[in-house]
Amino acid sequence: MRGVKHSANNPDVVVVGAGIAGAYAAFYLAKAGLRTLVIERAGVAQQASRWNPGGLNPLHGPSIPGTLSDFSLRSFKLHMYNAETLSENQRDYGLRLAPRIQLALNERQEKGLATAMQPYQDNTGFSARHMERSELQRLEPAIAPEVLAGAQLHGNYSVNTHHYADALLRAACAEGARLVTDEVLGIRQNGSRVESVILSSSTQVAGAVIFATGPWVTGPAKWLNTLIPITAVKGQLLRLPRSPVSTGFDLTNGLTGLYHQTDGSVLIGGTEEAGGLACRTDKAGKSLILSGLARLLRPAHQLDVTGHYAAVRPVSADQLPIIGRVPGWDNAYLLTGGGRKGVLYSSGMGYAISHELATGKSWPAAVACNPARFSNI
């Protein structure tokens, strides 16, 4: 395999980071027979991979429809393909159908519903239909009378991302992978090769290294002497112990969304905030989320907020994931940039990086995500 020097005693691949993308990379690498070591400093999926609704929604997002359409749908299909094995043999991770109603509050948003519905009408396994205000009110009386219309969207799924990453790593370990808790402090190189990673407790020789560190790219950028164009974008969420609506539909309008969970609770989002790597919640974020929800639901519904969370997500300069070998290096790879679609993209990201290590070429569906697209990387 390109970039991998096999050794009897050392891992073929070291994956730095055990978020959902790193977990999927380990899953596919181990299934391919590569000795895989995952190094995580803060626990499995404890950052952006934990505090999110876990949506598997392949038909909308940055560059969808467009550049990422094929990658997004293929990622979705990989999740579905792996579902049976992971559910039977690993901890349940809450995979569920997640029907959604996208709501319109003004005429501009109502006109946009047709655009949102079109991909659902064009792809097998998905469907969509327009709903007038009167039909919305009959289906869900909690919806505010100011809502003009909605698009009922079917075919999406969601997961409990923390449990999902745990299931993937358990499956990887069953194939021979190892997970260790430690912190990577640097690398040792020999020319254009990473010979080892320096940990807080030891030094680990590696055939290849994948940096799946999410928005934490300052270290890898310094060690590899390259610019990694990733911005940390914070998102805040609230948890309610029970849904304020009677139907099982998730409700969305822009950044505002109500997402049902398998335990009966709901997550309410969200925000998008620039400002570094601090994962702090604040009153302003809570107020913004609640005011957004108040525009969608009747004010008579009192909300019992029992949780308030924040996480930072990695967003690349062009909002596409960054997947592949770092230019100028033989065996150093990047796996980051999933942004708000990181859970959906994780399967495709993991598969793509495994494919590249096996063949030396980008997976065709992920060609647009190659790090070499940035002229200064």
Please tell me the predicted confidence (pLDDT) of residue 87. 67
Q: Which of 95, 311, 7, 332 is nearest to 197 (CA)?
A: 332
Using DSSP's 3-state secondary structure scheme, residue 354 falls into helix
Using only the alpha carbons of the chain, give its radius of gyration.
21
Please tell me the predicted confidence (pLDDT) of residue 89. 52
How many Å apart are CA 142 and CA 258, to the nearest integer? 13
Q: What angle do CA 176, 168, 248 make, to 5 degrees?
A: 165
Please tell me the predicted confidence (pLDDT) of residue 318. 95
Please tell me the predicted confidence (pLDDT) of residue 44. 82
Beta carbons within 10 angstroms of residue 288's beta carbon: 17
- Residue-range domains of the chain with CATH: 13-67+161-229+317-373 (3.50.50.60), 100-155 (no CATH), 230-316 (3.30.9.10)
Please tell me the predicted confidence (pLDDT) of residue 295. 94
Q: Which of 58, 125, 19, 71 is nearest to 355 (CA)?
A: 71
Name the residue type at position 265: S
Beta carbons within 10 angstroms of residue 154's beta carbon: 15
Contacts of 5 (CB under 8 A, 6+ apart): 207, 331
pTM of the shown model: 0.94
Please tell me the predicted confidence (pLDDT) of residue 164. 93
Please tell me the predicted confidence (pLDDT) of residue 84. 79
Please tell me the predicted confidence (pLDDT) of residue 194. 98
Beta bridge partners of 267: 239, 259
Where the chain has pLDDT below 70, the residues are 1-8, 48-49, 87-91, 300-301, 376-377
Please tell me the predicted confidence (pLDDT) of residue 8. 54
CA dihedral 319, 99, 130, 132 (to 10 degrees): -120
Q: What angle do CA 24, 123, 95 make, to 5 degrees?
A: 40
